[in-house]
A and B are shown apart, each in its own frame.
Chain A
């Protein structure tokens, strides 16, 4: 069962990711990104990260992609981009080579480092009769609000700074007063 879930969502993820980089139209690229984000959310559910799956759908597929589409429409750049011409000659083969090399290095590291992880944590609470249906959310909340509460507060400060900074960045400056 988990095999089929993995294969289906891996296909979703890879098709969406390839769609992001080969689609000419920015709106189509954003919609392919939604496909990838949903696939990642499915894999989060498959790995008992239920709260993160919900956050993934709400924050990424909901807010961030809508923000992207909003900016695409706002700037009026929703026209087809010509991908045939290469801006720098020979850049694309080099880019493909570089990313293939990166993937090869990462996969080698994964396969060779498989035996290194010996230290186990205290375990994830799974939603069942003993722990209740929202065991994962409770456990995550205990981690965030006890061990990482300072980081959490700093993150909220970061969000406020981001909001204020964005408003300042995009505000139209009046040429003259009145």
Chain B
């Protein structure tokens, strides 16, 4: 136990990223504000990035970091499109709740 307690191994990072992913999932399930739900999706993406980087170091493989690079770029594009959709939906509404969007017709 003492040898385990001083140098963080890859498992520590993976467990941390699993917990972060769980918190993000909980946020998406619980919160009803679309912006906060988006932030929780970012939390989940960051958890996955963290595990990719941890495994890249553990396995000595640069491709893990390459994938994280692409995930970041695609996440940026996804945030831009998602916020554009939220802005165009919510422009004429006063409340911002995902439950109000049950119907497709704007």
Cα of A133 to Cα of B99 in the assembled complex, Å? 51
Closest Cβ–Cβ distance, residue B64 to chain A (whole Å): 8
Of the candidates A72, A99, A120, A136, which one forms a contact with B59 in the assembled complex, judged by CB atoms under 8 Å apart? A120
Cα of A74 to Cα of B89 in the assembled complex, Å? 13
Count A interface residues, CB 8 Å.
79
Taking a contact as CB atoms under 8 Å apart, the answer to whether B74 and A158 are in contact is yes
Q: Is the interface of A mostly helix, strand, loop or mixed?
A: helix
Q: Is the interface of B mostly helix, strand, loop or mixed?
A: helix
Closest Cβ–Cβ distance, residue B38 to chain A (whole Å): 7
Given contacts A17-B20, A122-B60, A155-B73, contact A170 B87 (CB under 8 A): yes
Which residues of chain B are near A107, meaning CB under 8 Å?
A: 15, 18
Closest Cβ–Cβ distance, residue B87 to chain A (whole Å): 5
In this complex, the interface size class of chain B, counting residues with CB under 8 Å from chain A, is 35 or more
Taking a contact as CB atoms under 8 Å apart, the answer to whether B26 and A169 are in contact is no
Which residues of chain A are near B57, meaning CB under 8 Å?
A: 47-49, 124
Q: Which B-chain residue is minimally distant from A98 (CB atoms)?
A: B29
Of the candidates B5, B53, B66, B77, which one forms a contact with A47 in the assembled complex, judged by CB atoms under 8 Å apart? B53
Given contacts A52-B53, A103-B22, contact A143 B60 (CB under 8 A): no
Cα of A10 to Cα of B7 in the assembled complex, Å? 14
Chain B positions near chain A (C-beta within 8 angstroms): 5-8, 11-16, 18-27, 29-33, 35-36, 38-40, 42-43, 46, 49-50, 53-63, 65-66, 68-70, 72-81, 83-88, 90-91, 96-97, 99
| A-B CB contact pairs (8 Å), 5 listed | A3-B6, A37-B46, A56-B49, A71-B87, A77-B90
